Chain A
C-alpha cells in the first residue's frame, strides 16, 4: 500500500534505533542555548513518553475539560498517564507495532488523550484527524479523510463512538489493516491485558503526524520526531514571563488536531506539570464568550487563537455575557496560524479593555506545521508593532518603503530561541527586501511522510522553505503574502484544488479553468476567499449571469466556505505555465494589480498594432475596470474583463 520513506534524512523509518544512531544533536535542548533564563531549566525529557511519566504522579494538576454548559471535569495528569497505559497495552495486544500510524478522530475530550498517548505508549505514531463538520455535506469529508488515512498509511483508526458510525465510507476507501475501532471496541478486541511497560522511543523516532491542510488532492502528512516536538515545547516554556512569580496556566478552545492546540497547549502544560483548561471548539464558535469566561474563571495566563477568533469575539460577544469577567490574568494572547490584521487587534483591545484585557498581552506570532509550530514571537509584554508601507514596494524583490498612506502590516516578531529566519530574494538573500521566508531551527519536521520529492522541495540543507513571502525590518518579520498555493481561512488551511474543482464543475464554467486564492485585503479582519472562473465559450448569457451565484453555492455546499468574491473571466484569461498549469499566485497578483486581462485574439489588426509598437496600450485597453475592494458582494460580474 504505502511505500514507506526509509530515507534516514527524513527520519520516518520505524526502526527505533535509527533516529539516534550517531546523531550528534540527540540532545533536545539544542537551540535553547541562546535563550536567556531557559538554561536554568533542567532538561529532563527526551520524548513525549518521558514527559507523560514525569507528570504521572500529579493528582493535583491536569486538564480541565469544559463541556457545552461550561461545566468542569478535571482529568489529572495521573489519569492521563493511566489511560495511556491501558490503551497502549490494548493497541499492542491488537497487533499495533512500534512505528505504525494510528489515526485518531475524536472531539475534544478524555478519549482523545487516552487514544493519543495510548498510541505513543504502544510505540505507534498518532495521527489526529478532524471530526466531521456539523450539518455539513459529508461527501467531501469522506474523501478528505480517506485521503489522509492513505497518506499517513494508518494501520488502524480509533474514533469516538458517535463519529465512528460515519467513518464507514472513508475507512472502506482507505482500508486500514486493523480497521476502525472505538476505545470500547479496542478494549473488547484486545481481550485480557497484561501490564506492560510503555515502549521507549528514541528521540529521533516519529512522535506525531499532522496534516497542515485537509485536502483530498494532495494531503501532506507532516512527520515530527520526539526530538523536534520536545525542542519546540521546551522553547515555548522558556518564553513565559516571570515564571518564578506567576503560575503558568493555559486555556484553549483550539482543536486538538491543530498544531497550535496540541503542540502549543497540551504538551507545554504536560512538560511544566501545570493546568490546562480546554473548551470544545464548537462551543467557542457558537458562543465566543465562553472562551473569555474560561480565561477569567481559571485565571489563565496564556491563551492562543488565530486572528479570526479575536474578530469573532468582537462581532458576537455581548456585554451581558461578560458578567464578572476579568481578563487581567491573560498575559499572553497569542495570535497566529493565519494572517494577523491590525484592525482586528485594535478592535479587540478596545472592546475588551474595560474587562481588564491588557493591550500589551496581544502577541502576534508566526509558525507553521512543518516547523512543529512557532517560528517567530513578538516581544512579550509590549504593544504589538505595525508599519505602513508603499504598496508597490511590497512586491517580491522590492525594498519596502515606509508610507503613511500605504498598506499596514503587523510585525510577527523575532525568531524564537534556536530559530533563524532568512528572507531569500531569488537565490541570494538581500537584506531588507521582500522574498521567500526560509527558517532553520531544532523543531523542523523530518519531512512529509513517504514523500521524498515534496520533502526535497521544501527542506534544503537544514532550512525549510515556508512558501510565505515577507521581509525583515529591525530584526522583526513582516509577512506580505504567500508564494505557495494555499488558502488559509479562519486558521485552517485548505488546498485550493477542492475549491477549484467545485467551482469549475458549475454549468457555464469552463472545465478545469478555476483558481482559488485567499489574501488579506487592507483594513479587513481576515483573509478573504476569491474564486476566479473562466466562462465556457458556449455559455449562454443566462448561464454566464448565474455563474457567480452558482459558484458560490457550489463552494459553500462542498466545503462550507463562502467565497467573498467570484470573478468571472473570459476564456483564456487565467495565466498558465508553459506546460498549461494554472498559475495561482500570478492570477492573484495580476488581479490585485488590476492587470488580469483576457488574451488578445490574434488578428491582423493586432499584428499591425504590435508592429506599430502600440501593443502595450492595446493590451491595457482590455483590462477590467479597477478592482474595488470595498465591493464585498463582488459577484455581480461587473468586474468581468471586457472581451478584447
Chain B
C-alpha cells in the first residue's frame, strides 16, 4: 500500500501501517486484539496483522533495542514516504506517539527526498 503525502489518512490506518512494518521488519507478532508478545523470541502470528495498540511503549512493552528502533524508524519512513528528523523523534515513547508524528508529517506534505 503506497501512501501519498497530503492525502487524508486516519489514525487507525497509520496504526495499521506501523503494525505491518513491525510485523514485516521486526519479527514482532501483532495479534489483532489482546496483548502483544514482544522481543525477539516472539513468534509472528498467523493471519492478518492488526494495528499495534497505541499505548504500547517501544522500550518497556515492545522491548525494542537500538537496532530494532532504528529499523522501525527507517521502515516507517519508507512506508509513509516521510522523513523524521531527530527533533520529531524526541519524546516518542509509545506507538501512539509515533503515529501522531507520522500523521503530522503526512499533513505537512511531501518530504520524500
Contacts and interface: CB of A to CB of B under 8 A. Distances in A.
Interface string B8-45: 00000000000000000100000000000001110000
Contact of A166 (B39, B59, B71, B87): B87
B72 interface: yes
A510 B95 CA distance: 33
A110 B71 CA distance: 23
Contacts of B87: 162, 165-166
A247 interface: no
A562 interface: yes
A282 B41 contact: no
A133 B92 CA distance: 13
Contacts of A557: 59-60
A430 interface: no
B73 A135 contact: yes
Contacts of A556: 59, 63-65
A490 interface: yes
A166 B86 CA distance: 7
B74 A283 contact: yes
Interface in B41-91: 41, 58-60, 63-67, 69-75, 77-78, 85-87, 89-90
Interface string A275-305: 0000000110111000000000000000000
Given A162-B86, A561-B65, A67 B113 contact: yes
A322 B110 CA distance: 30
A498 to B, nearest CB: 13
Nearest to B60: A553
Nearest to B61: A553
Q: Is the interface of A mostly helix, strand, loop or mixed?
A: loop
A132 interface: yes
A134 B60 contact: no
Nearest to B69: A135
Contacts of A138: 90
Nearest to A138: B90
A44 interface: no
A562 B87 CA distance: 25
Question: Top 7 closest A-B pairs, CB basis?
Answer: A560-B66, A286-B74, A134-B73, A135-B69, A134-B70, A562-B65, A162-B85
Specify which of A163, A552, A560, A561 lies most central, judged by the most chain B CB atoms within 10 Å of its CB.
A560
B44 to A, nearest CB: 14
Given A133-B69, A166-B90, 18 more contacts: A133-B66, A133-B70, A134-B69, A134-B73, A134-B74, A135-B64, A135-B69, A135-B72, A135-B73, A135-B98, A162-B87, A165-B87, A282-B74, A287-B74, A553-B59, A556-B65, A557-B60, A561-B65
Nearest to A287: B74
A589 B106 CA distance: 53
B25 A136 contact: no
B37 to A, nearest CB: 13
Contacts of B86: 131-132, 162-163, 165-166
12 contacts: A133-B66, A134-B66, A134-B70, A135-B69, A135-B72, A165-B85, A165-B86, A166-B90, A490-B67, A556-B63, A560-B66, A562-B63
Contacts, number: 77
A499 to B, nearest CB: 13
A324 B90 CA distance: 40
A579 interface: no
Contacts of B85: 162, 165
Nearest to B67: A285
B89 A134 contact: yes
Contacts of A165: 85-87
Interface string A553-592: 1001101111000000000000000000000000000000
A609 interface: no
A82 B45 CA distance: 54
A285 B69 CA distance: 11
A68 interface: yes
Interface residues of A, number: 29
Contacts of A287: 74
A135 B97 CA distance: 11
B25 A286 contact: yes
Contacts of A283: 74
Nearest to A315: B27
A40 interface: no
Interface string A619-639: 000000000000001000000
Nearest to B63: A556
Contacts of B75: 286
A547 B9 CA distance: 42
A285 B66 CA distance: 11
A209 to B, nearest CB: 24
A516 to B, nearest CB: 15
Nearest to B66: A560
Interface string A246-286: 00000000000000000000000000000000000011011
Contacts of A135: 58, 64, 69-70, 72-73, 89, 92, 98
Nearest to A163: B86
A31 to B, nearest CB: 37
Interface in A141-179: 162-163, 165-166
B78 A136 contact: no
B59 A285 contact: no
Contacts of B65: 556, 560-562
Given A162-B85, A166-B90, A286-B25, A136 B66 contact: yes
A163 B90 CA distance: 11
A557 B75 CA distance: 21
A293 to B, nearest CB: 16
Nearest to A283: B74
B69 A136 contact: yes
Contact of A285 (B39, B70, B92): B70
Contacts of B77: 68
B69 A560 contact: yes
A556 B74 CA distance: 19
A139 to B, nearest CB: 11
Interface string A324-338: 000000000000000
A625 to B, nearest CB: 22
Contacts of B71: 285-286
Nearest to A563: B65
Contacts of A633: 41
Nearest to B25: A286
Contacts of A552: 63
